[in-house]
Amino acid sequence: MNRLECDFILSHFLEIREFAALAIIITAVFSVSYLKLVVRSRVGDMGLIFLWLGAFGNLTERVLFSCVNDYFSFFTLFNFNVWDILVTIGSLLILWNIWKKR
C-alpha cells in the first residue's frame, strides 16, 4: 500500500529549501562528530553509510517531489519506505557500535 507523506518535521515553520539545508547541516555535524569521537569499526562505518544513504534518499525524494512515498505499513501504525529502513538500520548499527566499545 503506497502512501504519500507530504508533511515533514517543522513543515509549519520552514520551507523545503530551509529544511533541506538544516537536514544537510545536522547530518554533516553528526557525521563529523561520529568520525572524531567514536572508536570506529566496520559495523559503525557501515551504519554511517546506511544513515547517509537513507537521509540522502529521503531528502532527494522530498526536494524533487515535495513528498516521500511510503511503501511499507506495519500494523497501520508505522509507514516506511526503503530510505527510512536504511536510516533505522544505520542508526541501530551506530548505537550498537558505541555500546559495544564502552
Contacts of 98 by beta carbon, 8 Å cutoff, 6+ apart: 38, 44
Taking 70 as the threshold, does the pLDDT of residue 7 lie above it?
A: yes
> Pairing relation of β-strands 68-70 and 72-74?
unpaired
Asked if residues 11 and 19 have their Cβ atoms less than 8 Å apart, the reply is: yes
pLDDT in tens, 13-43: 888 888 889 989 998 998 898 888 877 889 9
Domain assignment of residue 89, yes or no: yes
Domain assignment of residue 4, yes or no: no
Domain assignment of residue 2, yes or no: no
Overall domain count for the chain: 1
Taking 90 as the threshold, does the pLDDT of residue 9 lie above it?
A: no
User: Which residues are registered as beta bridge partners of 68?
Assistant: 5
Domain range for 21: 14-101
Domain assignment of residue 1, yes or no: no
pLDDT in tens, 86-98: 999 999 999 998 8
pTM value surpassing 0.85: no
